[in-house]
Amino acid sequence: MTTAAVFGSGSWGTAFAAILADAGCTVRLQGRRQELVDRINRDRVNADYLPELSLPDGIRATTDPAEAADGADLVVLAIPSQTLRDNLATWADVLPGDAPVVSLMKGIELGTGLRMSEVISEAGHVEPDRVAVVSGPNLAREIAAKQPAASVVACADIGTAEVVAQACAAPYFRPYTQTDVVGTEIGGAVKNVVALAAGMAEGLGFGDNTKSTIITRGLAETARLSEALGADPATLMGLAGVGDLIATCMSPLSRNHSFGLNLGRGMSVAEVVAVTKQTAEGVKSCHSVLELALRNEVDMPLATGVTAVVEQGVHPRQVAEALMGRPRKHERQ
Ligand SMILES: NC(=O)C1=CN([C@@H]2O[C@H](COP(=O)(O)OP(=O)(O)OC[C@H]3O[C@@H](n4cnc5c(N)ncnc54)[C@H](O)[C@@H]3O)[C@@H](O)[C@H]2O)C=CC1
Ligand SMILES: O=C(CO)COP(=O)(O)O
């Protein structure tokens, strides 16, 4: 039987721990707060993040990273992207030397422009062949309700991807394997930025034509960036690309979508941050995505507009007008 250690007991860490347990793994769920961990072990529920999910018996929570990682065959990381490097500085020593390490995170590191798998290799001292990424249309609350969904497990080493896929294949969760780690991670990070734009459009009172335009042109700029970084364009046509983009841009459950919605309705970034309890990765990753785009000479007008709203306080309506006023061009450019 596989023993899995999940670091991060927020919405996705908790929902993924339940997937692993339902797939037959023994799971140790690491959380920061003793009080939350005690409640998870006592009440079999993570009341702060997923109160509607009854946690399977195979999950035991702990605050101790060493206890979580001890003897694990699989390590899963589910924390905010911008905190990963600092956390790995303390966790690297306790990570098993031979287990696959899985990133559930959808962000790009500020300052370095590194993808989460690259941060894991660098700061966690894990060889790239052992680092896998799970990404797809996987809104935690729908997964927690055991609604059917699929995802992608990407790893440079297909054997490792298969081991991870085997460990997380549950009746309601269908993992597909991939070797295109770059495309899988860029798809996951950029869709959060595009979802902010879709939310803003909704907040401005625009309907489905506008949102569909944002999704489609958002996909085009995501594909341009991924290709420039060496990804396979086909990956963006799959679950970690268009699949996740649709779910996140359309769903009221998406935190990035909701964040954008509030901005479109006229709230300031500080006001939205104050009412947002969970991680909306696009708010920080828009900056790192744009830096990656500039470095690789890729045109990303939506990401540029989102960054102007988030960082310079430009009104979303102004961004919408600027986007619509650009010179016309061929659809494939
Ligand atoms: N919630 C979802 O539906 C999905 C989320 N993701 C990705 O998973 C990652 C984690 O997201 P969620 O679990 O949803 O976020 P969340 O906000 O629900 O939970 C974040 C967790 O990280 C912990 N945390 C916060 N700051 C920390 C720090 N400095 N050091 C260590 N731990 C810290 C929190 O205590 C909490 O347990 C993100 O990259 C997100 O994009 C991916 C797929 C689905
Ligand atoms: O990544 C997600 C769904 O696949 C979750 O999106 P949010 O972080 O916007 O809630």
284 is known as an active-site residue: no
For the chain, the maximum distance between any two Cα atoms, rounded to a whole number of angstroms, is 60
User: In ligand 2, which atom is closest to the CA atom of 281?
Assistant: 8
Task: Tell me the three state secondary structure of residue 149.
Answer: strand
Mean pLDDT score, 249-272: 98
> Which class is domain 3-179?
alpha beta
Mean pLDDT score, 290-315: 98
Mean pLDDT score, 216-228: 98
Query: Of all protein residues, whose CA lies closest to atom 29 belonging to ligand 1?
Result: 83
Q: Give the C-alpha separation, 36 to 34, whole Å.
A: 6
Mean pLDDT score, 244-249: 98
What DSSP assignment string belongs to 248-267?
HHH-TT-HHHHHHHHHHTT-
Which-ligand-closest: CA of 194?
2
Q: How many Cβ atoms sit within 10 Å of the Cβ of residue 71?
A: 10
Measured from the CB, is residue 247 less than 6 Å from ligand 2? yes
Predicted complex ipTM: 0.99
Domain range annotation of the chain: 3-179, 183-324
Measured from the CB, is residue 77 less than 6 Å from ligand 1? no
Radius of gyration of the chain (CA): 19
3-179 and 183-324, same CATH topology? no
- Specify the CATH architecture of the domain 183-324: Orthogonal Bundle (1.10)
140 belongs to an annotated ligand binding site: yes
The model's pLDDT over 119-129, given as tens digits with 9 standing for 90+, comes to: 999 999 999 99
So what's the pLDDT on residue 333? 82
User: In ligand 1, which atom is closest to the CA atom of 14?
Assistant: 13
